[in-house]
């Protein structure tokens, strides 16, 4: 059996002011008419039955999940009492699935990535799942073939060879621009997209070996039908160390592999990144919402619930939300997230 885990507990601070703690990035329709979590869910359900798709989210976001994916069953929502990064999240989900189904293969995805080439993406997932059927201990990650020297992503160095699935040699932190250029030109590195395929029982073993504290805290998680389930989870989960699956397992395990993938992936990590996926009008404006443009050029405007009119404006950005209206020079749009913590 192949299941999917969609991690949807993040607070999406980089897309403030539209993304807030109450309604973070994954629940916004930043690209097109559907929200990021809806796009992710609709994409993977072409391969995996909906009964086998699970969303892991903070307890505060359960109502948003049900609102945006109305057909989802309660048992398919795994609730985190608090945020503890991806390693506890994946451990919780793996044990949850063990209690439900026993031994299953798992596709683990973030809820807020953009993937342009969906058919190619699904083929890569199938290839990884088939590989794990024959190599149960393997953890396979989709490594994205770089299209530019990018400093905003971590990288994966892989062992070259004739096989489609490559042995991972090293995970590399986000580089400076000099290193990023070296990685891009070498052809020996992939972007780390944080998409993993693994066997749930083997992942539990990896975390037991490499992240012992968190394993000991959650190993006795009862079945969801057990009356003690929520009490146990609420008591134990907040004690978990905040650690990513990369640090906890991927950088330590000897069983990690990657599939080089050209699937049009982006983590859509900033307001400027959205410009890559939003079509410009004839005057090079990027517009989303009820926007009227008069003699204005080369602008970026994201509306909220009111009409916005640009008159004789060039090279500016405008981001509207319930909490704030931010206007500035287009070249400074990357600074917006830094304004969130101002007094």
- Unique residue bearing structure tokens 């307890």: 59
Q: State pTM to two decimals.
A: 0.92
The model's pLDDT over 269-288, given as tens digits with 9 standing for 90+, comes to 778 777 777 889 999 999 98
The model's pLDDT over 209-267, given as tens digits with 9 standing for 90+, comes to 999 999 999 999 999 999 999 999 999 999 999 999 999 999 999 999 999 999 999 88
Q: How confident is the model at residue 342 (pLDDT cuts 50, 70, 90)?
A: low
Residue ranges per structural domain of the chain: 2-266, 277-341
Whether the pLDDT of residue 14 is over 90: the answer is no
Q: Is domain 2-266 in CATH 3.30.540.10, yes or no? A: no
Q: How confident is the model at residue 338 (pLDDT cuts 50, 70, 90)?
A: confident
Angle between helices 200-210 and 86-101 (to 10 degrees): 140
The model's pLDDT over 147-158, given as tens digits with 9 standing for 90+, comes to 999 998 999 999
d(CA 212, CA 255): 18
Give yes or no for a contact between 46 and 122, defined as CB atoms under 8 angstroms apart. Answer: yes
């Amino acid at each position: 059996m192949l299941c999917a885990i969609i991690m949807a507990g993040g607070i999406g601070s980089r897309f403030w002011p539209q993304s807030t703690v109450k309604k973070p990035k994954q629940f916004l329709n930043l690209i097109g008419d559907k929200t990021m979590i809806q796009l992710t869910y609709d994409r993977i359900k072409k391969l995996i039955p909906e009964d086998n798709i699970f969303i892991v989210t903070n307890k505060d976001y359960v109502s948003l999940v049900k609102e945006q994916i109305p057909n989802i069953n309660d048992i398919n929502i795994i609730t985190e009492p608090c945020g503890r990064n991806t390693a506890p999240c994946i451990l919780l989900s793996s044990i949850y699935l063990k209690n439900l189904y026993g031994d299953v293969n798992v596709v683990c995805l973030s809820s807020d990535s953009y993937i342009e080439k969906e058919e190619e993406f699904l083929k890569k997932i199938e290839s990884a799942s088939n590989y794990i059927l024959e190599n149960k201990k393997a953890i396979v990650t989709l490594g994205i073939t770089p299209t530019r020297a990018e400093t905003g992503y971590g990288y994966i160095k892989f062992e070259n060879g004739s096989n489609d699935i490559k042995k991972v040699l090293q995970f590399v932190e986000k580089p400076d621009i000099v290193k990023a250029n070296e990685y891009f030109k070498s052809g020996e590195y992939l972007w780390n997209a944080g998409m993993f395929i693994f066997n749930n029982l083997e992942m539990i073993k990896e975390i037991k070996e490499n992240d012992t504290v968190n394993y000991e805290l959650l190993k006795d998680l009862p079945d969801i039908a057990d009356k003690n389930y929520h009490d146990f989870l609420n008591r134990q989960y907040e004690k978990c160390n905040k650690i990513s699956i990369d640090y906890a397992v991927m950088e330590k395990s000897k069983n990690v592999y990657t599939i080089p993938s050209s699937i049009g992936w982006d983590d859509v990590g900033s307001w400027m990144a959205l410009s890559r996926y939003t079509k410009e009008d004839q005057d090079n404006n990027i517009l989303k919402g009820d926007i009227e443009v008069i003699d204005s050029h080369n602008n970026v405007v994201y509306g909220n619930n009111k009409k916005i009119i640009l008159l004789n404006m060039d090279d500016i950005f405008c981001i509207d939300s319930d909490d704030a209206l931010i206007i500035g020079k287009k070249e400074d749009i990357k600074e917006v997230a830094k304004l969130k913590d101002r007094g």
